[in-house]
Amino acid sequence: MSEATAHHDAHAAPTGFVRRYLFSMDHKVIGIQYWILALVAVFIGMALSFLMRLQIAYPDTPFAFLEALFPKGAEGGQLTPEFYLSMVTMHGTIMVFFVLTTAPQGGFGNWGLPIQIGARDMAFPFLNMMSFWVTFLAFVAIIIALFFAGGAPLGGWTGYPPLSALGPEAGPGQGWGMTWWIISIALFCVASLIGSLNFIVTTLVLRCKGMTLMRMPLTCWGWFTTAILSLLSFPVLLGAGVLLLLDRHAGTSFFLPSNLVVGGKPVDHSGGSPILFQHLFWFFGHPEVYIAILPGMGAVSQIIATCARKPIFGYRAMVYAIFAIGGLGFFVWGHHMFISGMNPYTAVAFSVLTLTIGVPSAVKTINWLGTIWGGKIRFNTPMLFSLGFVSVFVSGGLGGIFLGQSSVDLFLHDTYFVVGHFHLTMGVSAIFGIFAGTYYWFPKMFGRMMHEGMGKAHFFISLIGVYLIFIPMHTIGMGGAPRRYYDSTSFKYLEDIISMNSMITWAAFITIGAQAIFVVNLIWTMLAGKKASDNPWEATTLEWICATPPVHLNFDEDPVVHHGPYEYSVPGAEKDYIMQTDPPSAVPAGTPAQH
Amino acid sequence: MGRFFGLLIWALTAISVIVLLRGVGAAPEAISQAGRDIDSQFYLTLAITGVVFVIAQGLLGWFIWQYREGREGTVTYIHGNNKIEVGGGVVIGVVFVALALLGQKAWAALHLAGETEDALHVEVTGQQFAWNIRYPGKDGVLGETAPQFVETVNPIGISPRDPAGKDDVMSINKLVVPVNRPVQLNLKSLDVLHDFFMPALRIKQDTVPGLSIPLRFKAEKTGTYDVACAELCGQGHYSMKATLEVMEPAQFEAWLAESAPSEE
């Protein structure tokens, strides 16, 4: 501990704007940088989904404004198929990497992990700064891909070869746009790898006196587990990305088999396997789902306990469940590949293992319900989004019970059922987690309280909206409508069911519109929001003993922890919450000791 | 606020159930035993997850309604309950794993059962953006193919040097099969990944360049059915459609004879 302290004393508060806000090594500034990057990305991603929904609901209707915006991509006011598919690809890529991975872990994790475990900063502040700026470069690369002449990539966020490996011969969007897309993802992998090492070391080495592992807030367990998943999965995707680049530009054949004929011309490659890429991709891709959701689970657990004024129900079980979900996440990637052509016997194992993830998920849900049971819930905006998270997570998670079964997946694979399922779980749940975290920590990050009325309006419209968007998508999928379709109106068997698409599109427009309330709230709060007190939610964890916003190196003196993170409503105690740093005597004699 | 929110959770649960019930029977009629088996596994799953869904959302809505800040009484100071946590996990685990094992039956029947002797073999080759379907002619053997022979009139490159290929029957975007006879498709691709999706049979299978993947089915009802591509293959993905025509055996033989290449 003393060595680490000495190390931190060495990095003094920077002066100058550039070192303070731009190339800062302060974990809080870096966290906010990640959060702002995700905020920019989420609005780009949402704008793309607006265009997609417009096309899906009105495939035959020209819109003059589309032609004005995209003279080439929407000639005559109608999107071209390649433009539509590049929207699909960029929406997926931007959302998965630059929102769902960036905000919960890079943003809140960076801002919150050191402060919640009583550390002065991350273990490696310089690496931390580097991981943000490499992420930023990755974002620049994806924006370049979006605008590259010759078309943005259109391989979907999964970018399966051979389509992604063949180059311009394979059609529009397979030229330099695809190359930049791969470069972006490779850079993102490098950044995540650096970041995850930092998180793991920080958690294991820099906890303050008294902060045993089993006294860590569940947020820290979420970030810590996520970091382990990132450490083990991103290098595999990086490898896949590099091999794909070599196939495209160095003449190798990792993913390209012999005897290909593309556009009528034989292709000079031999010996590769397209399925190999899918194994590498999903070995990363499935843990990635949990990388997006575990920090949200942590934040939501934290907020639910705080706002229900109750200890978290089953703290240990919650920790084990996070680890179980993360661990099982490495053994189920094959359920994305039931129809890929891999050995059909493996499907048996992947099916059974996938459905066992229901166990830790059920434990978490039971414990969230157990936490609000018998509490006194304060319905502030962070709590609303947290409870919304629980509801949406249950709704989305159950879709996995269908898709995890190889037999049922034969029909549902790559239909809208899948689209509805993963949007509710890794999309909406994770974003609700991000919003919950934003409303919850904003007062500490920026010193002002966000507006409650606007927050509530934002929440309720969003909650109703996402149910009206994504549940009907399951229904359309039950009818067998394939995803990534520019136009499904020519199928007889879909005639009835796809009439739901216009309703979904309108629900999506309203939900997207409701996000404007959030933006207005942000701006209003920054300019005129009420000043926040040091502990506005009356929470127990260490960030709330800091100044508002916390000073450089967080604490005036090293904190010492005496209590678990969720000691609310302890019978006989003075207040209804006991700070982790309160003296041991804060708990009245005779109360069963915890942790 | 608590009451409103609790009611809203219940309302959204009810709406979700209604919307999902709209999907029951939305898929086209299943025309094979395997299709019906997949359907019954689907509906069993729907029933079980439906119960879990309603219980979980019901409790969530109820607790939100009941335990709002202004209520009477004190907060229950409790750190958990092993019986409930372990019990709930075990029950869910047993039910879900049982479901997974049960689901293997339909999968095994389709993918793990071997070839049947009297099966009709048909080769399906995907390319951007069409399905090339090939039947062996009278000799019962398909001719060899090679990339250098590919041209507009010979899309999959049947070798002119191989006599076995002379009588092969080609059909573009139309798969014709006899009713009630086992069929084995051998799925291939010329260029990128595609996926041969037959909704009325409830099955889909990627076509992967470099591999020949068997897909077996037996259609039990004559008629014309949609076939879609279900793996993103480029800008024309949505237009890569085919039809499945299931005919009486005699009618099928007549079609096959009619479609055979003229003798040179």
- pLDDT category of residue A593 using cuts at 50, 70 and 90: low
Q: Which tokens in the block code for residue A412?
A: 């549902």
CA dihedral B99, A398, B231, B115 (to 10 degrees): 0
Terminal alpha carbon distance of chain A? 22
Option in A156, A260, A406 nearest B232 (CB):
A156
Whether B160 has a pLDDT exceeding 80, the answer reads: yes
SS3 B131: strand
Same fold, A30-40+80-256+268-272 and A310-528: yes
Residue B73, C-beta contacts closer than 8 angstroms, at least 6 positions apart: none
| Residue B212 forms contact with A (CB below 8 Å) | no
B210-261 pLDDT, tens digit per residue, is 999 999 999 999 999 999 999 999 999 999 999 999 999 999 999 999 999 8
Cβ–Cβ below 8 Å for B197 and A391:
no
Nearest CA in chain B to A472: B19
**Res B192: pLDDT:** 97
> In percent, how much of chain A has pLDDT > 70?
97
CB-defined contacts A:B, below 8 A: 355
Three-state secondary structure call for residue A577 = strand
Q: Is the pLDDT of residue B114 over 90?
A: no
- Which chain B residue is nearest to residue A400, measuring alpha carbons? B49
Higher-pLDDT residue of A588, A533 = A533
Q: Which residue of A411, A432, A488, A491 to mutate against B (max B Cβ within 10 Å)?
A: A411
ipTM value greater than 0.95 = yes
Contacts of A587 in chain B (CB under 8 A): none
C-alpha distance from A136 to closest chain B C-alpha (Å): 29
Asked if residues B104 and A351 have their Cβ atoms less than 8 Å apart, the reply is yes
CATH second-level architecture of B120-259?
Answer: Sandwich (2.60)
Chain A residue numbers with beta carbons less than 8 Å from the beta carbon of B208 are 274-275, 340-341
Q: Which two tokens stand for residue A137?
A: 């470069």
Nearest beta carbon to residue A480 from set B27, B68, B229: B27
Residue matched to tokens 């996926």: B195
**What is the CA B112 to chain-centroid distance, rounded?**
16
Angle A574-A579-A584 (CA atoms, 0-180°, nearest 5)?
Answer: 70
Residue A577, amino acid: Y
Q: For all residues of chain A together, what is the average pLDDT?
A: 95
pLDDT digits (tens, 9 = 90+) for B32-70: 999 999 999 999 999 999 999 999 999 999 999 999 999
| The pair of three-digit structure tokens given for residue B82, joined into one six-digit string | 């092993």
pLDDT tops 90 at residue B115: no
Q: Which of A81, A259, A496 sits opposite B236 (nearest CB)?
A: A81
B69, B125, B185, B217: best to mutate for the A interface, most A CBs within 10 A: B69
State which residue of chain B sits closest to A157, comparing Cα positions. B232
For residue A11, the distance in angstroms to the closest alpha carbon of chain B comes to 40
**Is B213 touching A (CB cutoff 8 A)?**
yes
CB proximity list for B83: less than 8 A, separation 6 or greater: none
Per-residue pLDDT, averaged over B108-128, amounts to: 92
Rounded to a whole number, what is the distance in Å from the CA of A102 to chain B's nearest CA?
Answer: 27
Inter-chain residue contact B101 with A352, CB threshold 8 Å: yes
The residue of A91, A278, A407 whose CB has the most chain B CBs within 10 angstroms, and thus the best one to mutate to test that interface, is A407
**Helix A125-147 and helix A176-205, axial crossing angle in degrees, nearest 10:** 160
Mutate to test the interface with B, among A342, A377, A470 (most CBs of B within 10 A): A377
Q: Which of B56, B76, B88 sits opposite A363 (nearest CB)?
A: B88
- How sure is the predictor about A4, in pLDDT bands with cuts at 50, 70 and 90? very low
Identify the pLDDT of residue A355.
96
pLDDT of A10 strictly over 60: no
Query: Which chain A residue lies closest to B211 (C-alpha atoms)?
Result: A341
Rounded average pLDDT over A429-435: 98
Contact A374 B76 (CB under 8 A): yes
Q: What pTM does this model have?
A: 0.96
Residue B17, min C-alpha distance to chain A (Å): 9
Could you state, in order of their start, the residue ranges of all structural domains in chain B? Answer: 2-69+82-112, 120-259
Which residues in chain A have their CB less than 8 angstroms from residue B192's CB? 160-163, 166, 170, 262
CATH tag, A30-40+80-256+268-272: 1.20.210.10
Q: State the smallest CA–CA distance between residue A292 and chain B in angstroms.
A: 23
pLDDT score recorded for residue B38: 97
Which residues numbered 120-149 in B keep a CB inside 8 Å of some CB on A? 127-128, 146-148
Are A171 and B85 within 8 A, CB to CB?
no
Helix H or strand E encompassing B191: none
Query: Residue A531: how many CB atoms within 10 A of its CB?
Result: 10
Of the candidates A237, A140, A117, A239, the one whose C-alpha atom is nearest the C-alpha of residue A581 is: A117
Say if the Cβ atoms of A314 and B69 lie within 8 Å: no
B105 shares contact with chain A (CB less than 8 Å): yes
The contacts of residue A231 (CB under 8 Å, 6+ apart) are: A193, A196, A197, A200
Q: Does B87 touch chain A (CB under 8 A)?
A: no
Q: Where are the domains of chain A?
A: 30-40+80-256+268-272, 310-528, 536-595
From the DSSP assignment, how many helices (H) and strands (E) are in chain A?
Answer: 19, 4
User: Would you call B191 and A170 a contact, using CB atoms and an 8 Å cutoff?
Assistant: yes
A376 and B69 within 8 Å at the Cβ level: the answer is yes
What CATH class does A310-528 carry? mainly alpha
Q: Smallest CA–CA separation between A126 and chain B, in Å?
A: 40
Q: Does B238 touch chain A (CB under 8 A)?
A: yes
pLDDT at A1: 40
Q: Which residues in chain A touch residue B227, judged by CB atoms under 8 angstroms apart?
A: none
Q: Compute the average pLDDT of residues A350-377.
A: 97
The band of A95, judged by pLDDT with boundaries at 50, 70 and 90, is very high
pLDDT band at A6 (very low <50, low <70, confident <90, very high): very low
Report the gap between the CA of A155 and the closest CA in chain B (Å).
7
Rounded to whole angstroms, the Cα distance separating B52 from B56 reads: 6
Set of chain B residues whose Cβ sits within 8 Å of the Cβ of A274: 193, 208-210
Q: Looking at residue A150, what is its pLDDT?
A: 63
Assess whether pLDDT exceeds 90 at residue A7.
Answer: no
Name the residue type at position A404.
G
Q: What are phi and psi of A192, to 5 degrees?
A: -65, -35
pLDDT at B263 over 90: no
What integer pLDDT is reported at residue A11 of this predicted model? 64
Least CB–CB distance from A401: residue in B22, B96, B226: B96
Q: For residue range A392-429, list pLDDT tens digits in order.
A: 999 999 999 999 999 999 999 999 999 999 999 999 99
**What's the sign of the alpha-carbon dihedral A88, A93, A94, A95?**
positive
Residue of B nearest to A564 (CA): B79
Residues of B in contact with A310 (CB under 8 A): 75-78
- Any residues with CB less than 8 A from the CB of A108 and at least 6 apart, and which? A31, A35, A219, A223, A295, A299, A434, A437, A441
Which residues, 6 or more positions from B197, have their beta carbon under 8 angstroms from its beta carbon?
A414, A480, A482, B203, B204, B227, B228, B229, B230
Is the pLDDT at A171 greater than 60, yes or no? yes
Give percent of chain B above pLDDT 70.
99
